[in-house]
Each structure stands twice: as structure tokens, then as C-alpha cells.
A and B are shown apart, each in its own frame.
Chain A
């Protein structure tokens, strides 16, 4: 049957198992002919490709190439990349010398979706899009190229879309029609396997030393006999699951959208398991490389060492995939990270200014670093098994890491700050409360971040933070000193959630402070009402009398109505008499009178 035929049946578990057995495991070693761990960088100023030996830290070679436009694929003897739109080039891994250059006959409207190398063979996928589709006979094609001289070995045409390829062990793996993983034999180009995914879009295929993986934006299938079911529940399916207790905190922060202030959506930190093979732009180094999940598989459905690392610009969040909790945080100072790669035991990354850093994947400790001083745009690592000697620098505590993110002056990274604040919800200790209070009080904190910090402060209120919260209520408005208490509202709500009686006196002060803004006043009244007790009666009585006839409260009537309700709930005869007076006296605000009248009626009926 022709490859990519629509009539091909899904492969059986036996067929998958047999193929996987043939592919076998791979040695954890670099795939290039030197056997040394290397990184191939697309440098800027001037533009070129630079090969750096990671063990020695030396630049092995540099070639000035101004128009490389794809990721670098690393084969055994050569590296491969695209120039402009339709030129493929190969250069020697050892010397950087040009091995060959081929202009591709892509045809109108056709572009490359991805390239992959396995040994001395190169594969690329080209697809037709746009207007050209109307006249095209075929939608896309997978091409195998001899890595030594650039001659095409075979081409397989497909009526549907093929995504970017992965290759290992003499086989090439491609996502097909967003529903399948197709596996072709590299020698003959014969399709030997087709695995269907149900309930999932398949957008990538990935070949690692632990096995072959494929998946989409929701998770990753391991290619083994269980994958034949095509269903996550029955397959070895890797997915970063987050702790349920903090799910609300994560909602919208991981690949979803949630309504922010004034109904605006907040795009979240993306859990992108791999590059989308159907997006031709991802053939090159893009902003996508700055935010994705770094992971490796282990046996079954486990991530290696139960860790997956979310990279976001300069931040790395190491998650315990078993518990779904944050295990470590690493912040690279000042400069964006352009490329990162998971080496199973560690994570290596390259910053824009050319600094290489290796982190322990389990703990986030810094294991090694080296500065190449080369400005880069992107890079491809061929560094399996890289384990250099270096001074281990322990990762900072999660609290410190999150704090540094929250206070990072970089305004681009607001999403990560939201995430960092949300992470603080589950962390205990006064230090965290102090961080949140300082963040809320800080004049330069943006309104959305402040709101989020306030929510977290209330969510994580606990007895041990009570002294700190009470102290925060000592802050006063002072025109002379230019101080303004900014934390009264959330602190009041936090104390109210614990019904802390000691809060009544300081809250009373804010209740009677003329500088307390109406929005905060509402929270103060709400908090005092929740705390309850005899201590709130006198201040509420006087407050209600002072402002029952004040027209400036028409827009903030709920402040008065809550105070009135609290008097009714917690007071006695004297309070009811007062409320009766408020309800009957014609000088009281009409809406307030109506409210109190009804409340008294309900209370009486309730009896």
C-alpha cells in the first residue's frame, strides 16, 4: 500500500511492539561523528553558525552565514539547515566546511515544515498551503536526502498534511493529518506503522534515547503496544498534572485563558510539550523557544526523575510531576534564554549573550556554566550524556526564587509574575506573607498583580501570619510623609477569614479614618461584620448614624447596608431600636431606609 494512503488500517499492538523492539534503545551519547557534546549556535553580529565543544568550551569553527532560516539538524558527519526559503546546506561537523548545497524544487506555495537527521540521512517535510492548494495534487511530502551529497533518495507524497519529522534507528516518524503518527522505513520509504490517536490532535513526533514519543498540546504518548489504543487512559501517556488543591491558581496560567481585571483575558504560561510540527514557522528558532516544557520520559508513563521543567524566558520552574507541585525555581539574571534542552538528568540552556548553564533536573542546582561571549539567536544541542565537572551551586529556595520573579522589573514577564504569585498560595511561612504584603504595598506594582497578590494573601491566611497582618493594620495615611496604607482591604479580609477578634480595634480605626477609600471601607466593614462580636457594635452604631443621611454614600450604599446588617445580626435590643430609627427617620437615605426596613421585617418574620 502506498505510504500515507487513506485506506491504511491502524497498526496492531503487536506490530508496534515489534517495531519498537527493532529500534531498540539508543546510547546516551552525542550523535555527531566526533562523539563530543557540542552545541551549534546561530549567532548574531555578525550572523553565522558557530560550533562549540561543550567539554572544552572552545569554539570549534565559525562560518558567517547571513540567511540561515531553520533549526540546525545534527547528523553524524554533517549538520543541516535551510537557507532562505528553499536552499538546503550541509556542513561538516568537524570543520564547518560546506559539504553540499541544494536548491529545492518546492513548487509554488510550498514551504518546509521541518527537518530531521538520523546518522547520514536527512529528512524534510514540505507542504502546500494557501491558494496553491486549489491546484495541488498532493498536500505534502516527506523527502529523504543522502546526507553525504544531498541527493534525494526518495520522496513520499501525501494527500493530507504531514508534520515535522523525527528520526532514529533507521526510521522516520511524522505526525499525519493531526490524527496519526506514521512511521516509515528510512531505506525504502515504506510506511510500516500507523498509530491513531483518539481524543487528541497529534502535532509532533520526538525521538529520544528513551524511546519515541508523539503528542499534541494536552500530553504525550509513548510509542509502545499500549499506544495502539489511541486513548490516554489506556496508553503510556505523559501529562503534567498539577496539584488539585491549587488548580484554581493555575487555571488560566497554563495554556488557557481566564478573565482578568475588567474582563480582559490573560494568556498564560504555555505548557508546550514540543514544537507544533504543522507550523512552518517553527522550522526556525522563534519566540516559541522561550516558553515551553522541557522533559524526558522514563519507563511507562513517567517523566524522567519525576520532573518536568517549564521554561519561560529567563525563568525555569521545575515541577514534581508525581505530586504536581513546584520543586524548584531557577532565574537566569538579566538576559533571555534562547535555547534549552533536557538531557534527562540535567537541563542545559544557552542565553542570548552566549552563556551556557547546566542545571540539575531534579533539584535545580547549578552544576556548570561557561560563557562563550557570542550573541546568539538560537541553538541546537547535541549533548546527550554531557556531565561536566563543575562547582555545584545549590538552587535558591522556592520562596526566594518566586520573590525574585515577582519583583523582576522586566515588564514583559507579567504572566510569569502572576504564576509566581499564585504559587505562593501553597507555601507556608511568614516570609511569604511578608512578600505578598510588600508587593501589595509597593507603589509600582501593577493593578492586576496587586489584585492577584491580594487574592493569594486571603487564600493562604493562617494563624501564624496573624501578628504580621495585625501589624500591617498599623499603617496610617499621612499626607506629610506621603504614606498611604495599601494593604488594609486584603488584610482585613484575611483576618476576617480567621474571625480574628484582635483585628476589631485596628479595623475600627480604619473604619473611622476619613482617608480610607470607599472600596477599602467596604472590605473593612465586611471583615468586621464577619468577625462579629460585641466589639463591632459601638463603632458600627456611630458609623451608621454619622452617614445614614450623607448623600455621598449613595454610590457606596453597601457600606452602610452591611454595617446595618451586622448590627442586626450581632446586636440586641438597642441596635434594633437604632435601626428602627434609621428606617423611620425621613432624613436617612431612602435606599438605606428600604434596606433596613426589609431586614428588620425578615428578622421579625424569622422569629
Chain B
């Protein structure tokens, strides 16, 4: 009992929220606030990183203020990453603004920072940012947009809202040959539409991306129904590369491990035997 009270006391006094650390933290914050404005870029970057780790509204304010007043490009990137670590909705508007920065690395960093915002009330705005990012000329920005899309799906965003994104990603894959974004997002949000698309445009797409996406679909527990899996298996069966066979073999092994059976598994076995 006594030990327990002692632990609590220690925690209160010395722990992360302990008031005895508050003045120490405040001094730290002041020091870092000054340091982040330093003309020495290394020091300023280190200060920005440190401020990203301090879970304090004041730290966030310092980071935001530095960005609002304009920072050097390299420092700006670190400031954005640091803001992302806070994941505070207060910074959303600023990050949305920075998602249109002329520097593509800054745009990508802002979008990656936005990805850390999981509040459902921001999902639609995040989707808007992601859709715009997919139309960006820079590959890194489109990839960041794709990560946002994948993140939304994982966060439980409504599937029907992501339909437009799926269509745009398929267009980027086929017409603009953007495999990177497709790989990132379609593997997570791809539906029967993507499966059909891959089957129809098999000759126009690089084998590798088709194999990767099909392999991922087969691994996803939510992908289906079974006739669609059959379709995906058939698509893999039409490919000639060893990766396709390896994907089918893996699917067979996974299915046996999970004791899953069905026409898709049977078909995969027969293709693999051939």
C-alpha cells in the first residue's frame, strides 16, 4: 500500500505530467523556440525535431508560427514533420495550405503529416486533399496522396466515398503509367472494379504491377466475394513471369493455413501444377 502511494507520488512529481517537470519543460521550450529561429540550419532543424516530440500546445504553436511566418525550405520540411507528430486538428488548416506549396517535398510532407489526423470529422477534407494530390505533377506528391487514401480506408472511411479515388488511380495507372500511387492505394482500396480493370487491360499494363496488386488482393481478408477471387486467380494465371506463379503458390499456402477452400484455391492449384 505504502509502495503504491510512493509510486503514485513519484509519478506525480517526476512523471511526464508532473508539475515539478513543468518549469524544466518550459525552460526547454523557450530554449528550443529560440533555437528554431537560429540562422544555423542544423541547430534549427534539431530544435524543430525536438519540438515535434514535446506534446505541448505551446510547442505546436511555436512550430506553426515558424511556418506561418515563412521558413527556409529545409527547416520548413522538418517543421511540417514535427507538426505531423502532434496530430492536432488545430494544425489542419495550415497543413492544407502547405499541401499547395511550390516545393514538392513540402507538399508531400504536408500530406504525410495530414495522414496522422484520424478524426472522422476531417475525413472528407482529407479525401479532398488526397484527390487533389493525385492530380499533382510530382510523383512524390501523388504517392503521398495515395498513402492518404490508403489511410482513410484503414481508418474506416466509407468505401463508396473512395470510389472516385479508385477510378482516378486506375486512370493514372493506365494512362499516365503511375505505378507507384497505384501500388500504394489500390492494394488497400481496390475492389472488384480494379480486379476487372486489371483483367481487361492486362496487355496494356506492366506485369509486375498486375502481379503485385493481385497478390495483395488475394491476401486481403475483405476482398471478395469468391467469384472475384477466381477472376483474380485467372488473371494471375495469364501472366508469364515467375512472380505470378510465386503469388499463386503463396495464396495456396495461405489458404491451406487458414483452411480456406473454394474455387479460387482449386483453380490456383491447377494453374500452379501446369
A contact set with B: CB distance below 8 Å: 477-482, 512-515, 542, 544-552, 581, 585-588
Contact = CB atoms under 8 A, between A and B. Distances in A.
Interface of B: 37, 39, 68-73, 97, 100-104, 107, 134-137, 142, 168, 171-172, 175-176
A131 B83 CA distance: 86
A549 B107 contact: no
B115 to A, nearest CB: 19
A138 to B, nearest CB: 74
A480 B134 contact: yes
Given A514-B101, A587-B39, A480 B70 contact: no
Nearest to B106: A514
A588 B168 CA distance: 40
A479 B142 contact: yes
A283 B134 CA distance: 66
Contacts of B100: 512-514
Contact of A552 (B103, B135, B168): B103
Given A480-B134, A480-B171, A587 B70 contact: yes
Contact of B102 (A545, A551, A552, A586): A552
A512 B98 CA distance: 10
Contacts of B107: 514
A479 B137 contact: yes
A546 B101 CA distance: 8
Contact of B70 (A478, A479, A547): A547
A365 to B, nearest CB: 48
A480 B68 contact: no
Nearest to A551: B73
A515 B103 CA distance: 10
Nearest to B69: A545
A542 B97 CA distance: 10
A586 B39 contact: yes
A514 B142 contact: no
A506 to B, nearest CB: 15
B90 to A, nearest CB: 18
B103 A550 contact: yes
22 contacts: A477-B135, A478-B135, A479-B135, A479-B137, A479-B172, A480-B134, A513-B100, A514-B136, A515-B136, A542-B97, A546-B101, A549-B70, A549-B71, A549-B72, A550-B72, A551-B72, A552-B73, A552-B102, A585-B69, A587-B37, A587-B39, A587-B72
A544 B135 CA distance: 26
B102 to A, nearest CB: 5
Rank and list the top 3 A-B pairs by shortest CB-CB distance, nearest first.
A545-B70, A514-B102, A548-B70
A547 B171 contact: no
B63 to A, nearest CB: 15
B168 A480 contact: yes
Contact of B172 (A480, A587, A588): A480
Nearest to B39: A586
Nearest to B104: A514
A548 B171 CA distance: 38
Nearest to B98: A546
Given A546-B101, A547-B102, A586-B39, A515 B72 contact: no
B73 A550 contact: yes
B73 A479 contact: no
Contacts of A585: 69
B105 to A, nearest CB: 11
Nearest to B141: A514
B143 to A, nearest CB: 13
Contacts of A480: 134-135, 168, 171-172, 175-176
Contacts of A542: 97
Given A479-B136, A550-B70, A587-B37, 18 more contacts: A479-B137, A479-B142, A479-B172, A480-B175, A482-B175, A512-B100, A513-B100, A514-B102, A514-B107, A545-B68, A545-B69, A547-B70, A550-B72, A550-B102, A551-B72, A552-B102, A581-B69, A587-B70
Nearest to B66: A587
B187 to A, nearest CB: 19
Contacts of B101: 514, 546
- Which one of B39, B104, B135 has the highest number of Cβ atoms from chain A below 10 Å of its Cβ? B135
Contacts of B68: 545
B43 to A, nearest CB: 13
A477 B102 CA distance: 13
A254 B101 CA distance: 47
Nearest to B101: A514
Contacts of B102: 514, 547, 550, 552
A477 B138 CA distance: 12
Contacts of A544: 70
Contacts of A477: 135, 137
- Which one of B72, B104, B142 has the highest number of Cβ atoms from chain A below 10 Å of its Cβ? B72
Contacts of B37: 587
Nearest to A476: B135
Contacts of B168: 480
A479 B143 CA distance: 13
A135 B100 CA distance: 80
- Which one of A514, A544, A545, A547 has the highest number of Cβ atoms from chain B below 10 Å of its Cβ? A514
- Which one of A512, A546, A549, A551 has the highest number of Cβ atoms from chain B below 10 Å of its Cβ? A546
Contacts of B142: 479
A308 B172 CA distance: 56
Nearest to A582: B70
A478 B136 CA distance: 7
Contacts of B39: 586-587
Contacts of A545: 68-70
Contact of B137 (A515, A546, A581, A586): A515
B70 to A, nearest CB: 4
Contacts of B137: 477, 479, 515
B184 to A, nearest CB: 16
A479 B140 CA distance: 13
B204 to A, nearest CB: 17
Contacts of B136: 479, 514-515
Nearest to B44: A587
A231 B73 CA distance: 70
A579 to B, nearest CB: 13
A545 B98 CA distance: 12
Contacts of A546: 70, 101
Contacts of A550: 70, 72-73, 102-103
A370 to B, nearest CB: 51
A544 B70 CA distance: 8
A550 to B, nearest CB: 6
B167 to A, nearest CB: 10
Contacts of B134: 480
Contacts of A482: 175-176
